[in-house]
Amino acid sequence: MYIVLLGPPGAGKGTQALTLSKRLGIMHVASGDLFRHNLNKETPLGLEAKTYMERGDLVPNDLTVRMVLHKLKSPECNHEALLDGFPRTIHQAKSLDEALGQENKAIDVVLCLQVSSEKVIQRLSGRWICQDCQSPYHTFNAPPISQGICNHCKGALYQRPDDTETTAANRLGVYMKQTSPLIDYYNNQGKLIEINGEQTVDQVGQDMLASLSRIEKERSVR
């Protein structure tokens, strides 16, 4: 199964991916996490991505596609993935379709989280991330049990440097311009399911699972 999570920065993709990937037993592949990992390790790829990430701009397609496809081909993915933050441009989406097509695979479904711009900015400005397992928290919406410490792995929480108001606003603009055309792209392929991302974390998760089981049922009768 290949599932894509689509939606603006701060929509709740990472939050949902955490539980959904466990529940479905498929690998969570987050392009932003892969870039931050490379940045921390100061790999050539990380250093090349750095300035784009700091500005909240997209890293060039060729670099991004190479990194994500390399991950998808790794044995740990086992020809399945829950994609989060990729694809983000039509070019990336086409490259992904082509690469999966070569293995006689395809994206099964695209879950698109809908959240207003005001809510997204509020979420990003209060976001805290675990430095070890990347779990997201929020000062008000989803505080950790102990302040500054991850519930899952006891790692330290930090605020991303690109979650400041100005950079977040730029990222939202980038999403509208470069990523939102993917909504039509996947809708035309009959793969898009819209999810109301403004509900509680649990309710959003339940809606996603309900949509996935509906698709499975439809397939089994075909």
For 188, phi then psi, to 5°, come to: -65, -25
Q: Which of 36, 71, 123, 127 is catalytic?
A: 127
71 binds ligand ADP (CB under 6 A): no
Which of 117, 141, 164, 180 is in the footprint of ligand ADP by CB under 6 A? 141
The residue from 36, 88, 123, 191 that is catalytic is 88
Catalytic residue among 55, 94, 105, 160: 160
Question: Could you say which of 3, 4, 53, 157 contacts ligand ADP (CB under 6 A)?
Answer: 53
**160 assigned to active site:** yes
Determine which residue in the list 47, 153, 176, 210 makes contact with Zn ion, applying CB under 5 A. 153
Candidate residues 69, 77, 99, 133; the one interacting with Zn ion per rule CB under 5 A: 133
Q: Are 211 and 3 in contact (CB under 8 A)?
A: no
At residue 172's C-alpha, the angle toward residues 1 and 18, to 5°, is: 35
Nearest CA-CA partner of 7 in 214, 208, 218: 208
Task: Give whichever of 144 and 212 is closer to ligand ADP, judged by the CB atom.
Answer: 144
Chain-centre distance of CA 128, in angstroms?
16
CB of 84 to Zn ion, least distance (A): 16
Q: Which partner in ligand ADP, Zn ion, none is near 156 (CB below 5 to 8 A by kind)?
A: none
With binding defined as CB under 6 A, does residue 205 bind ligand ADP?
Answer: no
Backbone dihedral region for residue 112 (phi beyond 0: left; psi -120 to 50: alpha; all else: beta):
beta
If one asks whether residue 13 binds ligand ADP (CB under 6 A), the answer comes out as yes
Answer for the pair 130, 149: CB distance below 8 angstroms, yes or no: no
List 13, 71, 123, 191, catalytic entry = 13
Instruction: For the CB of residue 149, give the shortest distance to ligand ADP in the complex, in Å.
Output: 15
The phi and psi torsions of 168 (rounded to 5 degrees) equal -65, -40
Check binding of 170 to ligand ADP (CB under 6 A).
no
Question: Is the distance from CB of 82 to CB of 20 less than 8 angstroms?
Answer: yes
Q: Is the bond into 87 cis (omega within 30 degrees of 0)? A: yes
- Give catalytic residue positions: 13, 88, 127, 160, 171
